Structure 1
């Protein structure tokens, strides 16, 4: 009998809990609270890309120095990549396509090893040649009218899966087109 009373009590409880009546009128909206302090702005990726052309000579100690103009803002924590215009090829339509290589780049020559290298600050980029032989023996094709593409990226934008070895990926990430790149010929 005890079990029957317990069962009937549980059944009655379930019956009353599951019953719904008509929904009551909605309550009044409360007052808006005070406006909180402004939050921190999100990351705004404002990278820049510029092409420079210069010649390595004995007079410039086989280095090409480029000082960032005031129109290019570089912060101390920004990352700078330099790409060397290595060659050109044709696409399926016969149009020339540039082949860029991320620096440093090393070439094995008859004279020895030649390396195109660079260093940078947030004021400038210095591109220079290093070798284990006399640089004066280099042919003009390795020194004259060399073209470099300099990409400046905020440090926040280099995290993740960005392929920095591919200049096209970097430019797509920054939203920069080939037509918008400033080209500078250095003396």
Structure 2
């Protein structure tokens, strides 16, 4: 069996040797491609959100109304502006990823959201009657909505902590000065 294998290996080696040679001329320039990372992600601020009993403590908005294009396969992250902290004399927002649980005097309060291919809703749930909740939790809330393309995770090898808004902002190259604001109706 070995006597038959040796000539076969010699022939394979000769074929590989015959495939090498000088490189040919450079081909013509190809067509212009899509801009690199043109769709890393989109974000907008949703301000003035009020939760009330008439709307079942839910606020919903269509992507088209916010003028963003979100595909069904995209990931949607929603952060609530939880606080403002002073850093070097400047007030900076603190963002927390939803769902967000808070233990209040009445019990446990949760800010959460759901989404479809055309809209999303932010809602409150609790283990107590939401009508007894202080307006500090229900009125004039601000959210930052970030849409991330489904293939984003495939294009990066590094893990990303999505609960860390600053890390998400850096990775998606979000420019804070260019994040549009949508005022809730």
Please name the residue that 1:79 is paired with. 75
Aligned twin of 2:181? 183
Gap runs ≥5 in structure 2: 1-20
Deviations 1:62-111 (A, max 9, x none): 0111110173111111000000111111002x110100001101111121
SS in structure 2 at match of 1:108: strand
1:67 is matched with 62
Give the RMSD, CA atoms, in angstroms: 2.7
Deviation larger for 110-119 or 165-174: 165-174
2:104 and 2:111 map into 1 onto residues whose CA distance is 13
Which sections of structure 1, spanning at least 5 residues, go unmatched? Answer: 1-26
Structure with max Cα Rg: 1
- Note closer, same or farther for the CA distance 1:77–1:96 as it changes in structure 2 (3 Å cut): same
Once the two structures are superposed, the pairs formed by residues 149-168 of structure 1 within 5 Å of their partners are: 149-159=144-154, 160-168=158-166
Q: Give the TM-score normalised by the residue count of structure 2.
A: 0.75
Q: Structure 1 residue 158: deviation in Å?
A: 3.2
CA distance in 2, matches of 1:97, 1:32: 53
Dislocated runs of 4+, deviation >6 Å: 40-43
User: Which residue does the alignment assign to 1:172?
Assistant: 170
Aligned to 1:47: 41
